[in-house]
Structure 1
Amino acid sequence: MPTAVRAFRNPRRRRYRRSPWRSPSGQEMAMLGKLFLDHPRTVNETYGEHWYVANRFGLLMIVAGLGTMLHGFVPGLMTRTGSNMVKKLHGEMAHRQPANLRPPSSDAHSVPPQGWHLEYEI
């Protein structure tokens, strides 16, 4: 190596670094499992199934939120969009739960609870 180049070299720099493409350690695999696999397993889904369901729910909530915002500007438009989507998603979520964990009235078309006023729906 030429002398000029050697003078600028950092003497503390490691000569051999671990490759970024190395295989993960057991601790790293446990962390990845906790982040990506533990929750889907608790709801009896694969990672792909959980990804699809969560993204579908999220997209439907965004669409309903935009409709509700439009309703805020023009109250005559989309008068029940937000409420209907909340009921639909709640019904789907309640239906997905195991039977022993479902709330008593998990039917999406059930009678509204006492004190529920339809005129306050969005």
Structure 2
Amino acid sequence: MIKRAFTEHPASVGESYTQHMGMAFGFGAKMVTAGFACLLHGIFPFLFKCTGRNCIEELHNRMVTHRDKRNCAETMPAVEGVQKHLQAAE
């Protein structure tokens, strides 16, 4: 039962527990770094002008590229929302 709690979601996206942890850590580190850049941009508007947008686009592309089709219905609303937001920003 406990093992299933750690493996069910990673398996639903076609990853092992450790693969999923690596992907999640990578996404989290990228978001934290971009978040700090956005905070600095708020103070110094001439710095990191595109960092937040570039991070969102990169993570979106990575997630769509690596998304397992079995889990597509669960992730599709979030992906479509990001796509609409990115198109509106252009």
- Determine if the TM-score, normalized by the shorter chain, exceeds 0.5: yes
> Where does residue 89 of structure 2 map in the other structure?
117
2:41–2:49 contact (8 Å) kept in structure 1: yes
Alignment: residue pair count? 79
Cα distance in 2, alignment partners of residues 80 and 71 from structure 1: 9
Q: Which amino acid aligns with 2:89?
A: H
Cα distance in 2, alignment partners of residues 99 and 41 from structure 1: 12
Unaligned 5+ segments in structure 2 are 81-85
Q: Percent identity?
A: 30
> Where does residue 10 of structure 1 map in the other structure?
none
Higher helix share: 2
Larger RCO (CA under 8 A, 6+ residues apart): 2
2:14–2:68 contact (8 Å) kept in structure 1: no
Q: Note the 1:13-32 alignment, pairs <5 A.
A: 30=1, 32=2
Cα distance in 1, alignment partners of residues 89 and 29 from structure 2: 27
After TM superposition, the runs of 4+ consecutive aligned structure 1 residues lying more than 6 A away are none
Q: CA deviation at 1:34?
A: 3.1
Q: Which amino acid aligns with 1:95?
A: T
2:7–2:17 contact (8 Å) kept in structure 1: yes
Q: Do structure 1's residue 37 and structure 2's residue 7 form an aligned pair?
A: yes
Q: CA deviation at 1:74?
A: 0.3
Q: Which amino acid aligns with 2:26?
A: R
Q: Note the 1:1-122 alignment, pairs <5 A.
A: 30=1, 32-98=2-68, 101=72, 113=87, 116-118=88-90
Cα distance in 2, alignment partners of residues 74 and 90 from structure 1: 26
User: What value does the CA root-mean-square deviation take over the aligned residues?
Assistant: 2.2
Q: Which has the larger radius of gyration?
A: 1
Using structure 1 for the length normalisation, give the TM-score. Answer: 0.58
